[in-house]
């Protein structure tokens, strides 16, 4: 049964020569490991005979050396193979997700878990398969070795081992319920902590931190109870597992004992039998590796799903000197048959109640996202600013110049134009402050986002509610600065504010994904429904 | 780390019980080799199969006892690990909620990280208790067993093991460092890809796929390299342990022949010695190496992270008692760091009961700083903020928290009934008080819609709109006896009419009302207005400021360019 990710796993293994090295190394080390109990038996017999034989000791030393060295090389090779495969998958996946662009068919959190979690799982495929193969080979080899000592030993082992293995397996399922209960309560504590953390200022100002700590910790006794349950179940499992190896060992030892008595086996051979029994039981411990392999395949499937998603077709936008035209544009449930013409240099406002499709329209007309039907004729130089910008890049300064090769002076100029320079120089390290250490409010982040749009000197500027968190005076300042910094550019603004709509040359009024009306704010103001967009219908 | 150890020490009884059961677990290791040796020596090799089988059955019985011990160890593990986890969670939650730096609040991902690290500490502690304890018990039991059967060879066995353990101990610091680097590289990879993948829209808007890919790929490659570096260290460690474990076996067989020949060692003793080494000591040594390199390192990293998330706070508690309910601010200056421009400069202001102050100004200029200074959450860098004649941050907390109430923009609602949420700050309030407060702030329809005071709220007020959540937060403060109420953009999600109603309701309480304004219409209702614009703050009545301040006029003009009148929003 092949899964969609199997092809991907295959090519992951195939692109590197190291798995072959690991296999070779494993072959040598396993051979050494299989010969070792016999060599040890020989050495013990030698010791019991009372005469020192150099060759026997040297043979034992060489085999041990081969095994130890093989293990050491194996650790490094395995890590190197997994790390390389993981990094390769991560790079491929990241590149693909970036190509798929916005809006992504995969939710951000999901995409991150595919890059961090699934790639790590899938990257270990070669090592998992090889270690499974090695365990299988050494288990089979042990049984053969037992048979070579005495066929009765192998028979006893083959009867007792599967029985013991079955005992362990049936109890793997027991923990699931406890784990679930534990995770639920743990999630409840986290949710309560998140509540309190969101209200940290209220808590601090009211001095009720201790009381709220108790509130968060209320489910703790249940958590401890669930945890204790987990340990009890695990204790049962350990009990069974703890009996497993001794049971098989006693069976094999008894058989070996009779062998000694009847002269078929030497005393050293008893040791060898013990060693081979332990080695043969290795496959029981490796049962979990089968689950790991299944997980690996599932993860590969999730990666392949992204890699196999076709990128949406985006017609290459040509320079159009700032004119934007939409013909019969539809996007999913958001927009239906939208026709629109925004002349160059126009200040257009897109208004409508929430859910009317404003942001989708803004994304489509600048070529940020693809359309399902219809045609968009737009410019190739579009600057975007958003209500909640994701500011990327190492430092706050770099987040403004993101995706460009702008120098410090250009970054500063853009920040000045976006009315955020005064804020940024007040940060602990000014423009060099790392993004993670820059405590920006919603309004400040919006203005940094504006600076990021301004620095690209676009023909068309699309502001998707990008000044929503600014107070009116700052918004007016930003507005004026934009006109000065980017004179004569087409500007499309998604807004909730009447004052902004009033300043626009053209208002596009959206309702349920369709254009309800176009015109100036004054013209549209006579319509009661239009006024309701701003006043909330009071 | 010290906290962690002291917590474990606090459960000494549990740990001791654990060790007690470990003794039982160690029995097979102690007798195992000897019994196998005897079974061959006096049973099978001596031609007495019954004795051999009986000795082996004794071996089996001991194994059962050992497994029983192991079972008890695991069952008792909960009694040590779970209370330790409880103590850890309590301390972290307390630390987070008492965090004095209220500037950067941890978000959902930070809370998720805290949860994850607590789980790591729990699992790792259990792992260490199981592994390290097993190692100790097994090795000691096996070595004693060995000493009693083959005393002549004991030094050949002990010396290589001790040497390997010493060498291993010397290697630990560098191993730890590499492991830590790898964990950090892991986190940075997750951060980099998280930032880019949650910001795909912005990457597309900036046409920055190449730069975004470069940033993420760099972290991915560094992470891969860090993993391989750790593998080298692990490989070296495994080699040292493997050599240390195997050398005694070789020495044993090499030095045994003369002793056997001279009759000092019996067949059974040699057999027993080898069984002790291969079946007990070696597995325990390998377990130790595995535990230290992975589990202990994960434990250390998680503990360090938790400590960063919840720093221990050593805040001094003020004891001053204010003489009255008046605020006096003199020459107050405040900045986030000595190098940065101050957000507030030379502010002087008096507030008396009945005063209604609106704070207006451009966003990001530090209006919320005013709220933090007035509530005593932060002391000013220069100047003083006096409440009833005492510096407000030195006022006794119980007095201060009852006298001054702050409603921030981000609402705090928790899972529980509406009543529990509303009585958060005034546990003594009756249902009539609550309903009255709810009516005053205009939240009666909301309360009825929810189903009354007994209605349950979800996490973070799930299902409520931001405006509805703010109404509940406002009612919660209205019901208190606070003489000073500070609304820090607390009505930002209400419509203008609802906002006006709330502000009027609070103004009628005759205490001090400070409104950090989201809309400028708030200024029209106040009897004094403070304009903050980064320079020297301006203070006066609305009319006075209109006449004297260009900035204030500009603010008003920008508010409504089409009407030029002081109407809050176009009316139909």
Mean pLDDT throughout A40-51? 88
Q: Please list every residue in chain B whose beta carbon sits closer than 8 Å to the beta carbon of residue A61.
A: 250
- pLDDT at position B572 is 28
Q: Note whether A47 contacts B195, CB cutoff 8 Å.
A: no
Nearest CA in chain A to B39: A257
Both B145 and B201 in one domain: the answer is no
Crossing angle of the two packed helices A442-454 and A408-417, in degrees rounded to 10: 120
Both B308 and B352 in one domain: the answer is no
- pLDDT at position B506 is 93
Instruction: Quote the CA–CA distance of A189 and B446 in Å, as a whole number.
Output: 28
State how far residue A75 is from chain B, nearest Cα, in angstroms: 6
- pLDDT at position A354 is 67
The verdict on residue B419 lying in a domain is: yes
ipTM of the prediction: 0.85
The verdict on residue B276 lying in a domain is: no
Q: Which of residues 476-515 of A touch B (CB under 8 A)?
A: 476-477, 498-499, 502-503
Mean pLDDT throughout B140-145? 82
Locate B177 and state its tokens: 């460092």
Both B336 and B452 in one domain: the answer is yes
The verdict on residue B480 lying in a domain is: yes
State how far residue B451 is from chain A, nearest Cα, in angstroms: 22
The verdict on residue B392 lying in a domain is: yes
The verdict on residue B114 lying in a domain is: yes
Q: Please list every residue in chain A whose beta carbon sits closer than 8 Å to the beta carbon of residue B73.
A: 235
- pLDDT (tens digit per residue) in B93-128: 888 888 755 444 556 667 777 787 888 888 888 888
Look up the domain containing B303 and give its range. Answer: 1-150+291-313
C-alpha to C-alpha distances, A43 to A35, A144, A269, B255, B362, nearest whole angstrom: 12, 21, 10, 11, 87
Both B121 and B157 in one domain: the answer is no
List the single best residue of A16, A71, A98, A119 to mutate versus B (max B Cβ within 10 A). Answer: A98
Query: Does residue A360 carry a pLDDT above 70?
Result: yes
Helix/strand/coil (H/E/C) assignment for every residue in A274-311? HHHHHHHHHHHHCHHHHHHHHHHHHHHHHHHHHHCCCC
State how far residue A1 is from chain B, nearest Cα, in angstroms: 32
Q: Note whether B28 contacts A246, CB cutoff 8 Å.
A: yes
Both B302 and B412 in one domain: the answer is no
- pLDDT (tens digit per residue) in A489-534: 899 999 877 778 888 999 999 988 899 999 998 898 888 888 777 7
Both B48 and B194 in one domain: the answer is no
From the list A418, A491, A504, A503, the residue with the least C-alpha distance to A461 is: A491
The verdict on residue B536 lying in a domain is: yes
Q: Which residue has the tokens 């600065």?
A: A481
List Cβ neighbours of A166 (8 Å cut-off, separation of 6 or more).
none
Q: What percent of chain A has pLDDT over 70?
A: 93
Instruction: Quote the CA–CA distance of B174 and B171 in Å, as a whole number.
Output: 6
Both B369 and B296 in one domain: the answer is no
C-alpha to C-alpha distances, A354 to A126, A357, A494, A512, A536, nearest whole angstrom: 51, 8, 11, 9, 10
Q: Which residue has the tokens 């700032």?
A: A322
Q: Note whether A75 contacts B238, CB cutoff 8 Å.
A: yes
The verdict on residue B428 lying in a domain is: yes
- pLDDT (tens digit per residue) in B78-91: 888 888 888 888 88
Mean pLDDT throughout A450-479? 83
CATH at residue B417: 3.40.50.300
Both B234 and B307 in one domain: the answer is no
What is the number of domains present in chain B?
A: 3
Last residue of a domain, one of B247, B264, B281: B264
Q: Note whether B193 contacts A94, CB cutoff 8 Å.
A: yes
Q: Which residues pair with B540 in a beta bridge?
A: B529
Q: Please list every residue in chain A whose beta carbon sits closer than 8 Å to the beta carbon of residue B70.
A: 238-239, 242
Both B76 and B128 in one domain: the answer is yes
Query: Does residue B550 carry a pLDDT above 80?
Result: no
Helices (H) and strands (E) in chain A, counts: 22, 9
What's the first-to-final CA gap in chain A, in angstroms?
62
Q: Which of residues 48-87 of A touch B (CB under 8 A)?
A: 48-52, 57, 60-61, 64, 67-69, 71-73, 75-76, 78-80, 82-84, 86-87
Q: Please list every residue in chain A whose beta carbon sits closer than 8 Å to the beta carbon of residue B223.
A: 83, 87
Mean pLDDT throughout B259-271? 83
- Whole-number mean pLDDT of chain B? 83
List the single best residue of B77, B86, B97, B520 to mutate versus A (max A Cβ within 10 A). Answer: B97
Q: Please list every residue in chain A whose beta carbon sits closer than 8 Å to the beta carbon of residue B60.
A: 246-247, 250
Query: Does residue B22 carry a pLDDT above 90?
Result: no
In degrees and rounded to multiples of 5, residue A171 shows phi and psi of -100, 5
Both B342 and B415 in one domain: the answer is yes
Nearest to B250 among A60, A201, A261 (CB): A60
State how far residue B8 is from chain A, nearest Cα, in angstroms: 16
Range of lowest pLDDT (A208-217, A342-351, B301-310, B402-411): B301-310
Both B364 and B475 in one domain: the answer is yes
- pLDDT at position A52 is 87
Query: Does residue B256 carry a pLDDT above 60?
Result: yes
Both B157 and B142 in one domain: the answer is no
- pLDDT (tens digit per residue) in B473-521: 999 999 998 899 999 988 877 877 888 889 999 999 888 999 998 777 7
Range of lowest pLDDT (B147-161, B237-251, B441-455): B147-161
The verdict on residue B278 lying in a domain is: no
Nearest CA in chain B to A210: B94
The answer, yes or no, to whether the previous bond of B548 is cis (omega within 30 of 0) is: no
From the list B275, B272, B389, B379, the residue with the least C-alpha distance to B325 is: B389
Crossing angle of the two packed helices B466-478 and B496-507, in degrees rounded to 10: 10
List Cβ neighbours of B464 (8 Å cut-off, separation of 6 or more).
B413, B457, B472
Last residue of a domain, one of B280, B313, B346: B313
């Amino acid at each position: 049964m092949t899964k969609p990710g199997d092809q991907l796993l295959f090519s992951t293994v195939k692109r590197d020569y190291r798995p072959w090295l690991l296999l070779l190394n494993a072959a040598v080390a396993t051979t050494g490991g299989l010969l070792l109990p016999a060599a040890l038996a020989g050495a013990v017999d030698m010791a019991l005979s009372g005469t020192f034989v150099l060759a026997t000791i040297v043979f034992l030393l060489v085999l041990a050396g081969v095994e130890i060295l093989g293990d050491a090389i194996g650790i490094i090779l395995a890590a190197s193979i997994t790390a390389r495969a993981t990094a390769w998958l991560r790079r491929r996946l990241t590149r693909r997700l970036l190509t798929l662009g916005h809006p992504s068919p995969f939710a951000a959190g999901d995409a991150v878990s595919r890059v961090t979690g699934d790639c790590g799982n899938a990257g270990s495929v070669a090592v998992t398969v090889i270690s499974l193969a090695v365990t299988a080979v050494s288990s089979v080899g042990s049984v053969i070795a037992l048979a070579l000592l005495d066929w009765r030993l192998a028979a006893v082992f083959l009867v007792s081992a599967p029985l013991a293995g079955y005992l362990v397996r049936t109890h793997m399922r027991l923990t699931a319920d406890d784990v679930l209960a534990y995770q639920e309560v743990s999630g409840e504590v986290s949710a309560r902590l998140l509540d309190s953390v969101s209200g940290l200022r209220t808590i601090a100002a009211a001095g009720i931190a201790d009381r709220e700590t108790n509130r968060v910790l209320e489910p703790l006794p249940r958590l401890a109870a669930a945890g204790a349950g987990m340990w009890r179940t695990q204790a049962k499992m350990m009990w069974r597992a703890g009996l497993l190896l001794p049971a098989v060992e006693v069976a094999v030892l008894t058989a070996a004992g009779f062998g000694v008595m009847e002269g078929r086996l030497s005393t050293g051979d008893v040791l060898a039998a013990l060693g081979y029994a332990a080695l043969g039981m290795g496959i029981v411990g490796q049962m979990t590796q089968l689950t790991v392999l299944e997980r690996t395949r599932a993860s590969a499937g999730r990666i392949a799903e992204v890699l196999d998603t076709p990128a949406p077709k985006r017609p290459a936008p040509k320079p159009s000197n700032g004119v934007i035209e939409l013909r019969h544009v539809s996007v999913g449930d958001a927009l239906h048959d939208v026709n629109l013409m925004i002349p160059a240099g126009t200040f257009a406002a897109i208004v409508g109640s929430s859910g009317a499709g404003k942001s989708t329209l803004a994304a489509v007309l600048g070529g940020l996202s693809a359309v399902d039907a219809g045609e968009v004729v737009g410019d190739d130089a579009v600057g975007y600013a958003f209500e909640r910008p994701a500011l990327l890049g190492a430092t706050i300064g770099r987040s403004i110049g993101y995706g460009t090769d702008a120098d410090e002076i250009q970054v500063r100029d853009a920040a000045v134009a976006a009315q955020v320079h005064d804020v940024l120089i007040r940060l602990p390290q000014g423009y060099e402050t790392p993004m993670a250490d820059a405590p920006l409010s919603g309004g400040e982040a919006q203005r940094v986002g504006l600076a990021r749009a301004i620095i690209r000197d676009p023909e068309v500027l699309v502001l998707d509610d990008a000044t929503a968190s600014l107070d009116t005076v700052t918004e007016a300042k930003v507005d004026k600065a934009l006109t000065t910094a980017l004179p004569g550019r087409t500007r499309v603004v998604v807004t909730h504010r009447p004052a902004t709509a009033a300043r626009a040359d053209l208002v596009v009024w959206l309702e349920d994904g369709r254009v309800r009306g176009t015109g100036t704010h004054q013209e549209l103001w006579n319509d009661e429904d239009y006024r309701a967009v701003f006043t909330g219908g009071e | 780390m010290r906290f962690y150890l002291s917590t474990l020490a606090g459960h000494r009884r549990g740990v001791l019980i654990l060790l007690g059961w470990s003794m039982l677990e160690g029995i097979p290791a102690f007798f195992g080799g000897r019994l196998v040796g005897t079974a061959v020596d006096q049973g099978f090799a001596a031609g007495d199969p019954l004795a051999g089988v009986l000795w082996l059955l004794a071996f089996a019985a001991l194994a059962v006892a050992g497994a029983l011990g192991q079972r008890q160890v695991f069952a008792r593990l909960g009694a040590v690990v779970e209370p330790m986890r409880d103590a850890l969670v309590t301390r972290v939650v307390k630390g987070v909620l008492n965090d004095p730096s209220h500037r950067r609040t941890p978000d959902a991902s930070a809370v998720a990280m805290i949860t994850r690290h607590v789980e790591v500490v729990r699992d790792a502690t259990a792992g260490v208790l199981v592994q390290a304890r097993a190692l100790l018990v097994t090795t000691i039991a096996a070595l004693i067993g060995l000493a009693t059967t083959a005393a002549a060879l004991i030094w050949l066995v002990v010396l290589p093991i001790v040497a390997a353990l010493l060498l291993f101990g010397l290697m630990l610091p560098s191993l730890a460092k590499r492991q830590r680097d790898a964990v950090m590289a892991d986190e940075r990879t997750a951060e980099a890809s998280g930032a880019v993948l949650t910001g795909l829209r912005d990457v597309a808007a900036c046409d920055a796929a190449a730069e975004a890919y470069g940033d993420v790929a760099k972290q991915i490659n560094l992470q891969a390299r860090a993993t391989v570096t750790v593998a080298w260290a692990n490989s070296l460690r495994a080699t040292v342990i493997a050599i240390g474990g195997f050398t005694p076996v070789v020495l044993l067989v090499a030095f045994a022949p003369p002793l056997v020949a001279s009759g000092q060692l019996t067949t059974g003793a040699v057999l027993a010695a080898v069984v002790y080494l291969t079946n007990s000591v070696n597995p325990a040594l390998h377990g130790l190496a595995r535990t230290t390199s992975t589990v202990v390192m994960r434990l250390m990293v998680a503990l360090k992270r938790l400590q960063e998330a919840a720093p221990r706070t050593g805040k001094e508690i003020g004891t001053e008692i204010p003489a009255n309910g008046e605020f006096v601010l003199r020459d107050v200056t405040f900045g986030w760091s000595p190098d940065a421009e101050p957000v507030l400069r030379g502010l002087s202001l008096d507030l008396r009961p009945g005063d209604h102050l609106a704070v207006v100004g451009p966003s990001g200029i530090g209006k919320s700083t005013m709220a933090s200074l007035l509530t005593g959450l932060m002391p000013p860098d220069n100047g003083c903020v006096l409440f009833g004649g005492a510096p407000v941050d030195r006022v006794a907390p119980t007095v201060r928290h009852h006298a001054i109430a702050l409603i921030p923009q981000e609402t705090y609602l928790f899972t529980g009934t509406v009543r529990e949420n509303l009585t958060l700050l005034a546990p003594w309030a009756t249902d009539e008080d609550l309903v009255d407060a709810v009516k005053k702030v205009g939240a009666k329809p909301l309360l009825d819609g929810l189903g009354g005071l007994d209605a349950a709220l979800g996490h973070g007020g799930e299902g409520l709109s931001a405006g509805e959540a703010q109404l509940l937060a406002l009612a919660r403060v209205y019901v208190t006896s606070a003489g000073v109420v500070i609304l820090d953009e607390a009505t930002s999600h209400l419509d203008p009419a609802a906002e006006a109603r709330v502000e009027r309701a609070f103004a009628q309480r005759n205490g001090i009302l400070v409104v950090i304004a989201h809309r400028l219409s708030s200024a029209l209702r106040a009897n004094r207005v403070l304009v903050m614009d980064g320079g020297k703050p301006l203070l006066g009545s609305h009319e006075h400021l209109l006449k004297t301040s260009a900035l204030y006029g500009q603010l008003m003009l920008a508010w409504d360019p089409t009407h030029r009148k002081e109407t809050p929003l176009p009316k139909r």
